[in-house]
Structure formats: C-alpha cells, structure tokens
Amino acid sequence: MFQRHVQSPPRPSGFTLVEIVIVIGLMSLVAGLAIANFDTILPAFQSTPPEVKFRRAVREARIAAATTSRPAYLRYDALAEEFRVIEKAAAAQEEPESADTPYFTPELTVEFLPIAAEKEGAIGGFGGLDATEPVPQLVFHPSGASTPARVRFRWRTGEESVLTLDPFSSGPLASKELFK
C-alpha cells in the first residue's frame, strides 16, 4: 500500500577520468593526422607562377594532340586565370565574354604573339599575319610541332615577362637578354 521511494545519493556532475582520456586521445589522433598531411595540404594554398602553369598546359596540349592524332589548341581564360586545352580552333575574334565587361579587370593578361618566318614557306609563316598582333590560341600538332610564338605575361601592376616557345620541342628558347 505504501510505496517507498528510495532516493539514491546525488551523483556528482562532471566527466570521469576515462571519458577525459578518450577525448584527449581522439584529439591527439586528429592533430597527428593533420600534421602528417600538412605537406600535402600546403601546396594547394600556394600560388603557382603563370609561367609554370603555362609549361604544364603546353605539356598537356602536346600529349592531347599526340594521343588523339588531331591538333590541340591552347588558350588562356582570363576569368578563370588558367590555361585551357581545347579540341576545336576558336574564331580569331572570339574572346572570353568576361574580358569585355567593364567590371572585370584581370590580374594577369596573357598574349600569344606569333613569330614570323624569316623566308617564304618556312615553318612559322602565318600567311601575312603581323607578328605583333596576338593570336587567340596556340596550335599543337600530332607530329609534335606547335605554333612558334612568344608568350607575353602582363600583370596589372605593370610587370611583364616574355617566353619564346620552340615550335619543335615546345620548350623555352634561350634569350640574349638572359646572358647580359
């Protein structure tokens, strides 16, 4: 009839020693994994110079042309700030839409300047194209040859660098300015 409620003594609030040790162990494990992977995470946050990005894109374009047995085209996308390998030639007047908007000022401008042939019929002849006018892309042929060109990098700060692309190796040519 009468029910007795037995009250248990109040349990002290807080964490037990075992719980604290488990949490510290898990935190140590996560910290150890983060430190071990720090070397692989860090390069993702570092900026790669555009010349290095260009060399990687050239290599990718040469491989694409050789493996597909069709010409590959290399363009610079100012909005994405990256080089793109495309399969079809773009029209000469085609430019990225974002570059025409007054609200877009690219950090870097890249121009492909063709190198004119010294004599008629030589490789590098552009059929009357002025060598000072930039072309929209570089062409990489399945044979391994490419458009002979100078690649001008201009930063918004006014700095400028120029690479000369060898049409057969797609490597940079030594410049007389380097030896002065």
CA atoms within 13 A on the CB side of 121: 0
**pLDDT mean for each 10 residues of the chain (180 residues):** 72 86 95 79 70 89 91 89 83 47 71 72 46 83 86 88 79 47
Q: What local confidence, expressed as pLDDT, does residue 124 receive?
A: 46
Residue 74 neighbours by CB under 8 Å, 6+ apart: 57, 58, 61, 83, 84, 85, 86, 137, 138, 140
Domains of the chain, start order: 50-89+105-171 (3.55.40)
The per-residue pLDDT for 126 is 46
pTM above 0.75? no
- If DSSP codes are grouped into helix, strand and coil, which group holds residue 174? coil
**For position 49, what pLDDT does the model report?**
85
